[in-house]
Amino acid sequence: MWIAKQVARRSHGSDWRSYFLIACVALLAVLLAGASWSAFRSSQDRTAARERQVHTLEIMLEADRLRTAALQQIRGERGFLLTGEERFLEPFDEGRRIAADSYARLLDLSADNPAQQQRLVNMRGEFGTLNTVLDAMVEQQRSGRREEAMFYMRRGADKDAIEAILREIDALIADERSILRERTDIAQMQAEANERYQYLLAVVGALLLALSLLAVFYVRRALAAEHAARRELQRFASTDPLTSLPNRRSFMEAMARSISRSTNDPNRSLSLAIFDIDHFKRINDRFGHPAGDEVIKEVGARALAALRKRDLVCRIGGEEFAVILPQADLETARIACERMREAISSSPIVHGDAIIAFTASIGVAEYEAGDDIDHLMARTDAALYEAKTGGRNQVRLAA
């Protein structure tokens, strides 16, 4: 989530890093999906191998049961031929019944294997031959033709039939074992491939994580640089580059906020002072513009030092400054501006070989209900004009 937020905040300067980070995360997601799919396939193959093992065991057990039943028929038939006693036909009949059940069960178990189904069809014919031979020999014994029955037994008519059946049973079991080995090998290969894939995923995942962290670092650094540049641009747009005081734009915004607060709270007083440097054109003409710039910077610094921390000193024109004095009535503002005027004119500055003295004239007005910025500034400018025409280097209050 944190990485996603960083990506969402990307800037023009960090586009390629952001897209690289997205690519790393996407590739890691693909690898994780691949690992899940590989694990799923491996699990399926293992399950299929286990199921096939159980299936093969069932077929082998049923095939052994069929083999035993067929041999039981032979033993019962031969016991009857040799002794003539009917009780030996009981295992003979039992073997035939079990053989029929086992054969039906094998047909059901091999339903998904056409080759085994065909082998069982062939086996059914061989069982038919066996049953025909055995039934004939039993009938001969019962009808008193024992010699004929013994003749066929010695010739191995029943033996040939049973051997054909046993060969089919052995082939069926061999095929099932082969299928089981094949499924087991596939499951083993898939498990090994999945294990190798997991190792690869761990290595690639660690690499992608490192690259992602590196990309995040560069994205954050680019964002920080952009943020710093934006702050610097904002500061440049709202600050006078010569004095580092707020410029006219910042003054107008701050003045609007101050008037809004005083409008909402009638008990909250507000005063505005506007002052400029006396005879500033003479200073520029006599000492040069660099000297004039030094005077402007010094006036701003002295004004800022003489006032309260809550007061806002701004440069709003060439040699013109404004001061917002919140929570100050007209008398409080006058005292503060007198202190500022004295600080400004307290001592000259030295510029090169020149000693430059300077003063400032100040006009002050208090906010009155219904005043807007223009009206308040107009009254303050009128007071400044009176300070200029009245002899300069003084503070005049608006009527």
Tell me if 272 sits within 8 A of 324, measured CB to CB: yes
pLDDT of residue 17: 60
Report pLDDT digits (tens) over 342-373.
Answer: 999 999 999 989 999 999 999 999 999 889 99
373: its two tokens: 């910025």
104: its two tokens: 């039906």
pLDDT of residue 345: 95
Stretch among 2-6, 191-195, 251-255 having the lowest mean pLDDT? 2-6
User: For strand 360-366 and strand 270-277, is the pairing parallel, antiparallel, or unpaired?
Assistant: antiparallel
Which among 34-38, 90-94, 189-193 has the top mean pLDDT? 90-94
If you average pLDDT over every residue of the chain, what do you get? 83
**Within 10 A of 83 (CB to CB), how many other CB atoms are there?**
11
Which among 47-56, 83-92, 121-130, 306-315 has the top mean pLDDT? 306-315
CATH class, domain 2-214, is mainly alpha
- At 144, give phi and psi (nearest 5°): 90, 10
359: its two tokens: 């003063």
Check whether 233 has a pLDDT greater than 70: no
pLDDT of residue 185: 79
248-397 under CATH 3.40.1350.10, yes or no:
no
Q: Across residues 320-337, what is the average pLDDT?
A: 96
The pTM (predicted TM-score) of the whole model is: 0.50
Pairwise CA distance, residues 237 & 250, whole Å: 9
Q: Which of 3, 12, 359 is CA-nearest to residue 211?
A: 3
Pairwise CA distance, residues 282 & 233, whole Å: 34
Helix (H, G, I), strand (E, B) or coil at 311: coil
Q: Across residues 224-252, what is the average pLDDT?
A: 80
Query: Pick the residue with more confidence: 45 or 247?
Result: 247
**Within 10 A of 61 (CB to CB), how many other CB atoms are there?**
13
pLDDT of residue 157: 65
| Confidence tier at 11 by pLDDT (50, 70, 90) | very low
Query: Pick the residue with more confidence: 227 or 259?
Result: 259
pLDDT of residue 201: 77
pLDDT of residue 188: 80
Structural domain spans, the chain:
2-214, 248-397
Check whether 240 has a pLDDT greater than 80: yes
- Max alpha carbon distance in the chain (Å)? 164
| Sheet of 360-366, strand order | 312-315, 320-326, 270-277, 360-366, 395-397
Check whether 387 has a pLDDT greater than 70: yes
Q: Across residues 215-222, what is the average pLDDT?
A: 73
Residue whose structure tokens are 């890093």: 17
Q: Where are the alpha helices (DSSP H) in the chain?
A: 2-8, 15-83, 89-109, 114-142, 146-155, 157-238, 248-264, 280-287, 289-306, 330-344, 373-389
Stretch among 30-34, 63-67, 141-145, 390-394 having the lowest mean pLDDT? 30-34
**Within 10 A of 339 (CB to CB), how many other CB atoms are there?**
15
| Confidence tier at 3 by pLDDT (50, 70, 90) | very low
SS (H, E, C) 144-197: CCHHHHHHHHHHCHHHHHHHHHHHHHHHHHHHHHHHHHHHHHHHHHHHHHHHHH
DSSP state of 309: T
